[in-house]
Amino acid sequence: MRIRGKRIGGREIAIAIAVALGIWLVAGFVIAGFVPVPAPPGLQPIVLKGGHVQGSKIATKSWSFEYKRAQLSPDGTTGIIEGISNGIVLRKGKPYARVSAESINVNTQTLDFTAIGKVHIERIKDPEKHSFDTDYAVWNNGLEELTMPQLLSHRACDAQSGNYFDRLSNR
């Protein structure tokens, strides 16, 4: 083969093809490094916005919450639920407490949860109308026990006078 009067042999063509292939491979690797690889299907968290979530063991409801945003693990066994309102915790199948919280970490297998941030809890059907404010509360569903390691406030109502008082400072 002749180009502009010069003879080009098989060796020169092979070198040209090898150089072009090398440039193409290097460019492909460089360009591929700039694009983030998405997580494989099934490994991405499940994100839900605005709704109602309920934890039940067999046929007995354990708790339910309305939420603004929920992010569950890919297998749905754990999750972070934010903007909790109108939460109800049940004890022995009956409403025990109302809960509102900034965030709740939940285990959907054990039905345990940890409320974090600004947490408000009110006892249901309590003549003294106990209410609690804390920044951390833990519900152990197996024991049906709600613990608050550090109370910020504890209010109750005097059943006779109807006046509320702060139980932590006896005011």
Same domain? 94 vs 132: yes
Same domain? 21 vs 61: no
Lowest mean pLDDT among 2-6, 28-32, 118-122, 151-155: 2-6
- Give the DSSP H/E element, type plus range, for residue 143: none
Q: Is the pLDDT of residue 167 over 60?
A: no
- Paired with 147 in beta bridges are 138
Same domain? 19 vs 96: no
Q: Which residue from 104, 168, 94 is spatially nearest to 133, judged by alpha carbons?
A: 168
The reply to whether the predicted model has a pTM over 0.85 is: no
Same domain? 80 vs 160: yes
CATH number of the domain where residue 61 is located:
2.60.450.10
What is the band of 163 on the pLDDT scale with cuts at 50, 70, 90?
A: low
Same domain? 66 vs 107: yes
Same domain? 116 vs 60: yes
User: What range defines the domain where residue 83 resides?
Assistant: 46-166
Q: Is the pLDDT of residue 66 over 80?
A: yes
Q: Is the pLDDT of residue 21 over 80?
A: yes
Same domain? 148 vs 74: yes
Q: Is the pLDDT of residue 146 over 60?
A: yes
Same domain? 127 vs 97: yes
Q: What is the number of domains present in the chain?
A: 2
Lowest mean pLDDT among 17-26, 112-121, 142-151: 142-151
For tokens 């067999």, the residue is: 58
Same domain? 68 vs 91: yes
For residue 171, being part of any structural domain is answered with no
The SS3 call for residue 40 is coil
Average model confidence (pLDDT) for the chain? 83
Same domain? 26 vs 56: no
CB atoms within 10 A of CB 132: 22
- pLDDT for the residue numbered 76: 84
Q: Is the pLDDT of residue 169 over 50?
A: no
Higher per-residue confidence, 7 vs 92: 92
- pLDDT for the residue numbered 55: 81
Same domain? 95 vs 159: yes
